[in-house]
Amino acid sequence: MIVIVMGVSGSGKSSVGQTLARKLGWDFYDADSFHSATAIEKMRRGIPLNDNDRHPWLKELQSAITRWLQAGKNTVLACSALKSSYRQILYCQHQQVKLIYLQGNFELIFARLKARQHHFMRANLLQTQFDILEEPKSSEAIYIDISQPIQLIVQEIINQLELA
C-alpha cells in the first residue's frame, strides 16, 4: 500500500508521514526530495512553482510510486498534491494508493511556516498554495484535522485505514 499524506506546505505532511511510517515499519519518502535544484531555488527566492515546473516532478513521483507498487513496498509519501490533476498522475484512483488530506486553516499553518527554519518554502508562498488547492472529494481521501497532536493524527490515520 502507498499512503500519500497531502496538504499545503506547513500542514505537517513530513512530520505526520515520518511518524506514521515509523509506527507501521514502512518506508517514508518526502516528495520535496524529488524536486529539481531549479525548482527548489525558485521557491527559495519566493517564486511559486507553476504547472510546467511541477510536471517533471509529478512524473518522477509517478515512476517512484509505480516501482513501489510493483515491488510490494508499503510506503508513506509526503506530497502536497494540491490539484486533482496532480493526484491523478500519482494514481490516487489505484486501489493500493490511499490519500490522507491534512486540513487546517491558514492562520495555524502560517504560524507554523513562520516558525520553521532552514526550509526552502517561504511563509509568503502559503497563500499561493491555498489559492491553487483543490480539496479532494471526501470519497477520495481521509480528511484529518491538523490542530490535533501528531500522535492522535497518526492513530486516526491508522484507524481509518484499518491498519491496526
What is the average pLDDT value for the chain, to the nearest integer?
A: 89
Closest CA to 15 of 120, 129, 150, 111: 150
For residue 36, what pLDDT band results from cuts at 50, 70 and 90?
confident
Q: CA 50 → CA 1, 39, 130, 138, 158, distances in Å?
A: 29, 10, 14, 26, 33
Domains of the chain and CATH, by start: 2-160 (3.40.50.300)
Write down the pTM of the prediction: 0.88
CA 24 to chain centre: 18
- How big is the chain by its Cα radius of gyration, in Å? 15
Over residues 91-104, the pLDDT tens digits come to 866 889 999 999 99
pLDDT for 120 beyond 60? no
Q: Is the pLDDT of residue 124 over 90?
A: no
